[in-house]
Amino acid sequence: MICSTISEMIGFVCHPLNAEGSVAMIDTPFAFADGDGIPVFVEKIGSTVRFFDDGGVIMHLIGRGVSFDDHRRTRFLKNIAEPNGVQLNDSGELEIWSKSNEVQKAFAQYLTTVLAVTSWEKEQCGVSTDSSLLLDEVAIYLQAWKPSAVLADGKEISGVTGHVYKMDFQFDGSAVLAIGIHPASVSSTAKKLLDIRAATENEGLNILVVMDDRQDQDAARREGLVLDSVGKVMMMTKLQERSRIHTRPS
């Protein structure tokens, strides 16, 4: 049964859908703009594994008023999917095939594609991509960068003032924060990290700040200098590069 191994490999709960256990649905916390969960299915055929949406993405978009009467109107989906190695097949399914030893990478590529569709949907509705989507993306890229490293929910860390700060993730021995480039966000993060660094019990604490530089790399470099003294700053584009997941520019 595919669920006996897939859950351990990708970190999400898996529910078999047939008696043989060769097809399953995967539960994730990710959702479209209206709250509908994103569709994730997995199928094992011989030594290959397929992640697919069972046509769920197109059905969701149709329900939101997107027309697919002309096959040319699927081009935007292909433009989002294909750079990630994901295909839109003749049945209207987003899918990616992989060898059994490349399941984690394929799963990350599939999620990257569907999250990019949710971002596109929000842009069309005039809703900006929020911080929760950034966290989702950072989690995917971190896990794809170092598949064997443990990615966990962030810990609470006390500063010298007594304030307690919640980190976004704990990854490969480092506390991780994911932020945008707005000066207010950078200033808040700098104050938080200065407070944490001033506490003697945090000596030796490794902190990684992932900064989303995809909209304005020059501004991100300037803002990154503010944080360099209190944490290691990695730009989102660099994390994407290290994850080896090819994405279209945001």
Are residues 222 and 166 located together in one domain of the fold?
Answer: yes
The residue from 71, 97, 126 where one domain ends is 126
107, pLDDT greater than 90: yes
Domain that holds residue 8: 3-126
Within a domain: 27: yes
195-212 b/e with 16+ CB inside 10 Å = b?
bbbebeebeeeebbbbbb
216, pLDDT greater than 70: yes
Alpha carbon distance 118, 98 (integer Å): 24
65, pLDDT greater than 80: no
pTM: 0.55
130, pLDDT greater than 60: no
Within a domain: 139: no
> In the predicted model, what is the mean pLDDT of the chain?
87
Mean pLDDT (whole number) for 221-230 = 89
Are residues 55 and 160 located together in one domain of the fold?
Answer: no
Are residues 119 and 208 located together in one domain of the fold?
Answer: no
Are residues 9 and 113 located together in one domain of the fold?
Answer: yes
Are residues 119 and 86 located together in one domain of the fold?
Answer: yes
Are residues 74 and 152 located together in one domain of the fold?
Answer: no
Within a domain: 248: no
Q: What is the DSSP string of the chain?
A: -THHHHHHHHSS-EEE-STTS-EEEE--S-B-TTSPBPP-EEEEETTEEEEE-TTHHHHHHHHTT---SSGGGGHHHHHHHGGGT-EE-TTS-EEEEEEGGGHHHHHHHHHHHHHHHHHHHHHHTT----HHHHHHHHHHHHHHHSTTS-EEEPPEEE-TTS-EEE-SEEETTEEEEEE-S-HHHHHHHHHHHHHHHTSGGGTT--EEEEE--SS-HHHHHHHHHHHTTTSEEEEHHHHHHHHT------
Are residues 166 and 201 located together in one domain of the fold?
Answer: yes
The residue ranking higher by pLDDT, 121 or 160, is 160
Are residues 119 and 172 located together in one domain of the fold?
Answer: no
Are residues 120 and 216 located together in one domain of the fold?
Answer: no
Within a domain: 205: yes
The residue from 59, 94, 126 where one domain ends is 126
Within a domain: 234: yes
Are residues 33 and 112 located together in one domain of the fold?
Answer: yes
Confidence of residue 231 (pLDDT cuts 50, 70, 90): confident
Q: How many domains are there within the chain?
A: 2
Within a domain: 172: yes
Within a domain: 134: no
- For residue range 150-160, list pLDDT tens digits in order: 899 888 899 99
- For residue range 77-96, list pLDDT tens digits in order: 888 899 899 999 999 999 99
The residue ranking higher by pLDDT, 131 or 30, is 30
- CATH code of the domain containing 121: 3.30.1460
Are residues 162 and 119 located together in one domain of the fold?
Answer: no
Q: What is the pLDDT of residue 125?
A: 59
What percent of the chain stands above pLDDT 90?
47
The residue from 92, 126, 160 where one domain ends is 126
Within a domain: 218: yes
Are residues 7 and 122 located together in one domain of the fold?
Answer: yes
Alpha carbon distance 241, 217 (integer Å): 15
Confidence of residue 53 (pLDDT cuts 50, 70, 90): very high
